[in-house]
Amino acid sequence: MTTDNSNQRDWALATQAIRAGHARTHEQEHGEPIFPTSSFVYGSAAEAARKFGGEEPGNIYSRFTNPTVRNFEQRLAVMEGGERCVATSSGMSAILSTALALLQAGDEIVASRSLFGSTVSLFDKYLGKFGIVTRYVELSDLEAWEAAITPATRLLFAETPSNPLSEVVDIQALAEIAHRHDALLAIDNCFLTPALQKPIELGADLVIHSATKYLDGQGRAIGGAVVGRDKELEELFGVVRTCGPCMSPFNAWIFLKGLETLNLRMRAHCENAMALARWLEAHPAVSRVYYSGLESHPQHVLASRQQQGYGAVLGLEVVNGRGQSARETAWSVIDATQVMSITGNLGDVKTTITHPGTTTHGRLSEEQKAAARISDGLIRIAVGLEDIDDLKADLARGLDALV
């Protein structure tokens, strides 16, 4: 069963997040149902032939047609302002599926060097094996983006804000550069979500999500999604249909429930993160805080213009402890926490803390870490929804011991 999204695009985001995409079945359920089935039954061989042949819409096989997954796809597409969404098994499979759908041997990607470590590995190690070259540039340097483009460039790829330094690029200007060279612009929007940033409205062609993060918001399930125009998304749907990196119905239902509270959660995350960033900036054991909501951030004005909030992820550099290396000092602060969870994941109501240089970006070479400014003294915090005073006290245990 499908649903008409035309009027839903006129709703406010909070309403879209709760109502969009749900077409009630004959049972007239109020909550979205889960369809945990691998296949679907037809009334006749002729009906099966029509559906398999594409002559009649309907469900075929849950690898590529499932009502619960479709509900999530339609809701997220409406929220992001895209024509269509394709859900995948993870955020990384969303990026891989995009590349498989839109690129071929000899094509080139221009990407920010401030990317999640696994994305860099995917581009260099795996796409590189098949003749797809990736060139890396400084995220905020528009001249560098343009200079790196060649006639073979087909895709520009950026995370904004970046992980974990909260760097920002002018999406509208970058989209203009991409389109001037007949390339597509893909923006990883998992740090801000459509609650805080709408890349498609700013000119991006594709928006990529790790739904595992804030779309779920409680660390319960793994999933990904790509939103964009039907033209590109039809190719991407073909990859999911044929190669199989599909989202499970149960996970899609989890993400639907997460979307219902997304707007409220992101505002609360931003409030906590801003308070913690300001407190950290004033602490004598902290040499620098990376958070685009701070006036000290080099892209603060740009972030304030193109975002509706600054997100929950921040980075901080700590001063070296007595007789300790930068890594040992950072680890001592992390190990002193009792409330925060030491984990590489983010996007949870629970605050997480990690050392990027040895976890999320640990597989990068020392040269790649230096280019991305991932230092041994860098700590990343994804601020959750606990009481802010408890979070400050948790960090103070380790930080106060350094001064």
For residue 305, which phi and psi values (nearest 5 degrees)?
-80, -40
DSSP 125-164: IIIGGGT-EEEEE-TT-HHHHHHH--TTEEEEEEESS-TT
Instruction: Identify the band that residue 6 occupies on the pLDDT scale cut at 50, 70 and 90.
Output: low
pTM of the full structure = 0.94
Q: How many CA atoms lie within 13 A of 303 on its CB side?
A: 23
pLDDT at 5: 54
Strand ranges (DSSP E) for 176-285?
184-188, 206-210, 224-228
* Mean pLDDT on 84-107: 98
Q: 6-10, 233-237, 326-330, 346-350: which range is least confident on average? A: 6-10
pLDDT at 403: 87
* Mean pLDDT on 129-135: 97
Separation between Cα atoms, residue 13 and residue 9, nearest integer Å: 9
What are the tens digits of pLDDT across the range 288-337?
999 999 999 999 999 999 999 999 999 999 998 777 899 999 999 999 99
What are the tens digits of pLDDT across the range 151-173?
999 999 999 999 889 999 999 99
Helix, strand, coil proportions of the chain in percent (round to 5)?
40, 15, 45
Q: What's the distance, Cα to Cα, between the start and end of the chain in Å?
A: 63
User: Which amino acid would we find at residue 180?
Assistant: R
Tell me the average pLDDT of the chain.
95
pLDDT at 4: 52
pLDDT at 320: 86
* Mean pLDDT on 346-374: 88
